[in-house]
Amino acid sequence: MAKILIIEDEPDVAESERMLLERDDFTVEIALGGAEGIRKIKSAKPNLIVLDLLMPMVSGTDVLDFLKKNGIGIPVVVATALSSVKGTRTELEKSYRIDGFVSKTYLAEDLVREVRSVLQMRKSIKGKD
């Protein structure tokens, strides 16, 4: 099964997301904050990243900058508490490749569904090459 890296600064949120994804048979690793996330992207080699945007020090957009500057094509599902998810997504998509997006007010199934959808879409795109 796919390896997921959760980059989140709130330990309780990260643990909740980990439990949801592991229940659906994903292998999950957690990075508490953007700096740790960047280090783990290099070592863990995840198949997908679930990324919080609002983190102190090294934000989610800093992580997206790192991925973009280094040509790292790992799919990213942004999980945000920002009130204007639609506006945020539109703004981010102008600068970055975002594969999926969920509001942190999501139901448990929403996160898992979005992760599965992005991985399936990526798999079918790779199969066409």
Q: How many domains does the chain have?
A: 1
pLDDT of residue 66: 95
**Is this structure's pTM higher than 0.85?**
yes
pLDDT of residue 126: 60
pLDDT of residue 129: 46
pLDDT of residue 81: 73
Task: Residue 11: give its domain's CATH number.
Answer: 3.40.50.2300
Residue bearing tokens 């929403």: 110
d(CA 94, CA 120): 23
Q: Can you give the residue range of the structural domain that contains 38?
A: 3-128
Query: What tens digit of pLDDT does each residue of 68-126 get?
Result: 999 998 999 998 776 555 556 677 777 777 888 887 776 667 889 889 989 988 776 66
- The stretch 42-61 carries a mean pLDDT of 92
